[in-house]
């Protein structure tokens, strides 16, 4: 039989249901569940083998296929002559797990007797559907406390696959989490993702699953065309309010993020603007709508330092009505929920919203959305209602499009949790929007560049230092 090489998709993020579909597709194509379990278990055993490097391993197995993986891991280690013992918290209940258990020929011990250095947690994986309580919870806690190192297979037992919520009290911390077949939302969502130091993916041959989300990877940014000039490279108009600092930060990262020209439309006289930033008072010689009618503008940014009074609202409405591709951030998001519904939905041009959790909840309220469900579902829902690309910020930033595309940021430095970094992200987003004209691409590129700038700034930085590092991040993506 002729086999097409399958496109491995190491950056796809699949929900539990999508993962089942992906596995079903593999099985329809002739791979049985036993083979998949062998692939998953043997792949995971490679990592366990490296981490344990000869130290005794305890494998904790549950009743489902996650437990089945555990039997394969234990047998693989035993075959290699590793000291391994297995605790069966519950007997295997699926056919694949029973078969894997029958092929394991090492010691099975009671939890109380298990003494090792490395715990491999195969109690529950993507089939966890309720709280882990009672004896099983106590067993996981006690074994975790007794082993120096802990490895979670697919997910720690006590994590909801699609939401990243915890379904156990006091989930242990793990040295490593080994995702099987594809990343799941819980690998890139809080609070789950704070419970391991490192994560690795084991390929089991899954193709790209239609409708799956992806991890945001390094963008590939092109140098300006040979005949480029400042307008063709993208003119960003920054609609500023009374807090000039935020507008200056956003303008700086917009300037370093690839656009050819940043014009700051100031509300008040501005001191301390750098020499390479063009500042225009509007209203001054021109009203703000007049300044925004310049058809060379490729993207408008409104929100950082805007304020929330009636003047701020007028300025935001001018930005909404100008028809250019638009990024709304910070105060503009708060004002948007107060604006008339028509203001929000009559726009046809590209629109990007950048809410953090509080702003997200306010926007949901103003769009009549329930705010219930997982973070990715909420972001997709808001994106669809607002007709906007949504960057849902936080320690687990993700990007959702009105058409249903979803992209997750890989874990980024926690040093980003300082005032002003949102302004830097907003400026970058506007810059990438001005360059690419594509709001989803702009948002994902900006999210990656923002995290990369943070990695390159190191520890304990200010937002102004982060904005300067946007230049280094751009170099890393060229
Ligand atoms: N389906 C496949 O083709 C493959 C699946 N794989 C593994 O299979 C896992 C999913 O397997 P399953 O769907 O069997 O699910 P799990 O092994 O995660 O567990 C499901 C079982 O646990 C029970 N259960 C769920 N929550 C419980 C709770 N709080 N307390 C007590 N019992 C609870 C369920 O009733 C069910 O019997 C993945 O995470 C992955 O590790 C891999 O082996 C690769 C191949
Ligand atoms: K597990």
pLDDT tens digit string along 383-410? 999 999 999 999 999 999 999 999 999 9
pLDDT at res. 232: 84
Half-sphere exposure of 367 (CA within 13 A, CB side): 26
Q: Convert the pLDDT of each residue in 6-24 to its tens digit.
A: 456 789 999 999 999 999 9
68 vs 338, more confident: 68
| Domains of the chain (ranges, CATH numbers) | 12-214 (3.40.50.10260), 235-477 (3.40.1190.20)
Q: Classify residue 151 by its DSSP letter.
A: E
At 435, the pLDDT band (50, 70, 90 cuts) reads very high
Q: For residue 225, how many other CB atoms are within 10 A of its CB?
A: 9
For residue 2, pLDDT over 70 is answered with: no
pLDDT at res. 272: 84
Percent of the chain with pLDDT over 90: 90
Residue 391 CB–ligand 1 contact under 6 Å: no
2 vs 200, more confident: 200
User: Which whole number is the average pLDDT over 186-196?
Assistant: 98
For residue 342, pLDDT over 60 is answered with: no
Q: Convert the pLDDT of each residue in 17-63 to its tens digit.
A: 999 999 999 999 999 999 999 999 999 999 999 999 999 999 999 99
For residue 283, pLDDT over 70 is answered with: yes
**Do the Cβ atoms of 233 and 224 come closer than 8 Å?**
yes
Starting at the edge strand found earlier in the chain, the sheet holding 213-215 runs 12-13, 213-215, 406-408, 398-400, 389-392, 351-353, 326-328, 297-302, 235-239, 261-266, 278-281
pTM to 2 decimal places: 0.95
For residue 347, pLDDT over 70 is answered with: no
User: With 0-12 CB in 10 A as exposed, 13-18 as middle and 19+ as buried, what is 88?
Assistant: buried
Strand ranges, E, within 6-70: 12-13, 57-61
Instruction: For residue 152, give the ligand nearest its CA.
Output: 2
Residue 33 CB–ligand 1 contact under 6 Å: yes
Given ligand 1 and candidates 30, 43, 65, 183, which is best to mutate, with the most ligand atoms within 8 Å of its CB? Answer: 65
Cβ-count burial 189-220 (b if 16+ within 10 Å, e if not): beebbebbeebebbebbbbebeebbbbbeebe
Residue 63 CB–ligand 1 contact under 6 Å: yes
User: Which whole number is the average pLDDT over 281-306?
Assistant: 96
For residue 270, pLDDT over 90 is answered with: no
| Distance of CA 115 from the midpoint of ligand 2 (Å) | 19
Q: Convert the pLDDT of each residue in 89-106 to its tens digit.
A: 999 999 999 999 999 999
For residue 241, pLDDT over 70 is answered with: yes
Distance CA 185, CA 309 (A): 39
pLDDT at res. 166: 98
**Do the Cβ atoms of 452 and 476 come closer than 8 Å?**
yes
For residue 240, pLDDT over 50 is answered with: yes
Residue 304 makes CB contacts below 8 A (sequence gap 6+) with 238, 240, 243, 246, 247, 249, 250, 329, 330, 331, 422, 423, 426, 427
Is residue 69 a known part of a binding site?
A: yes
* First vs last C-alpha separation in the chain: 42
Residue 136 makes CB contacts below 8 A (sequence gap 6+) with 62, 89, 90, 123
The DSSP bridge partners found for residue 87 are 60
Give the ligand 1 atom nearest the CA of 130: 29
User: Which whole number is the average pLDDT over 239-257?
Assistant: 96
For residue 327, pLDDT over 70 is answered with: yes
For residue 3, pLDDT over 50 is answered with: no
């Amino acid at each position: 039989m002729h086999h097409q090489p399958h496109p491995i998709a190491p950056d796809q993020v699949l929900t539990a249901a999508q993962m089942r579909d992906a596995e079903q597709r593999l099985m329809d194509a002739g791979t049985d569940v036993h083979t998949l379990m062998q692939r998953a278990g043997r792949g995971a055993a490679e990592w366990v083998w490296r981490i344990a490097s000869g130290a005794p391993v305890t494998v904790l197995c549950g009743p489902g296929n996650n437990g089945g993986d555990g039997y394969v891991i234990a047998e693989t280690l035993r075959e290699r002559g590793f000291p391994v013992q297995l605790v069966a918290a519950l007997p295997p209940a699926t056919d694949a797990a029973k078969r894997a258990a029958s092929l394991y020929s090492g010691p099975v011990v009671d939890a109380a007797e298990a003494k090792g250095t490395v715990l491999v947690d195969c109690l529950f994986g993507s089939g966890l559907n309720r709280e882990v309580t009672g004896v099983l919870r106590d067993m996981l806690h006690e074994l975790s406390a007794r082993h120096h190192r802990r490895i979670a297979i697919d997910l720690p037992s006590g994590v909801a696959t699609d939401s990243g919520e915890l379904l156990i009290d006091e989930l242990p911390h793990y040295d490593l989490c080994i995702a099987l077949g594809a990343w799941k939302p819980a690998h890139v969502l809080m609070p789950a993702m704070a419970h391991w130091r490192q994560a690795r993916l084991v390929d089991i041959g899954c193709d790209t699953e239609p409708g799956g989300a992806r991890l945001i990877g390094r963008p590939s940014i092109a140098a300006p065309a040979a005949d480029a000039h400042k307008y063709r490279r993208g003119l960003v108009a920054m609609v500023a309010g009374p807090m000039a600092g935020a507008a200056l930060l956003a303008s700086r990262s917009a300037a370093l993020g690839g656009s050819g020209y940043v014009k700051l439309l100031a509300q008040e006289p501005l001191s301390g603007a750098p020499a390479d930033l063009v500042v225009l008072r509007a209203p001054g010689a021109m009203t703000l709508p007049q300044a925004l009618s310049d058809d060379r503008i490729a993207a408008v940014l409104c929100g950082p330092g805007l304020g929330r009074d009636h003047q701020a609202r007028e300025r935001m409405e001018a930005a909404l009505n100008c028809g250019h591709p638009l990024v709304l951030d910070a105060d503009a998001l708060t004002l948007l929920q107060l604006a008339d519904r028509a203001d929000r939905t009559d726009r046809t041009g590209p629109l990007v919203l950048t809410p953090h959790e509080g702003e997200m909840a306010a926007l949901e309220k103003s769009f009549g959305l329930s705010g219930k469900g997982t973070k990715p579902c909420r972001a997709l829902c808001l994106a669809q209602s607002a007709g906007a690309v949504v960057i849902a910020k936080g320690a687990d930033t993700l990007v959702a499009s009105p058409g249903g595309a979803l992209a997750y940021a890989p874990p980024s430095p926690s040093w980003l949790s300082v005032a002003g970094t949102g302004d830097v992200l907003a400026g970058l987003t506007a810059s990438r929007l001005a360059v690419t004209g594509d709001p989803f691409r702009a948002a994902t590129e900006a999210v990656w560049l923002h995290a990369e700038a943070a990695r390159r700034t190191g520890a304990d930085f200010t937002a102004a230092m982060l904005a300067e590092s946007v230049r280094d991040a751009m170099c890393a993506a060229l």
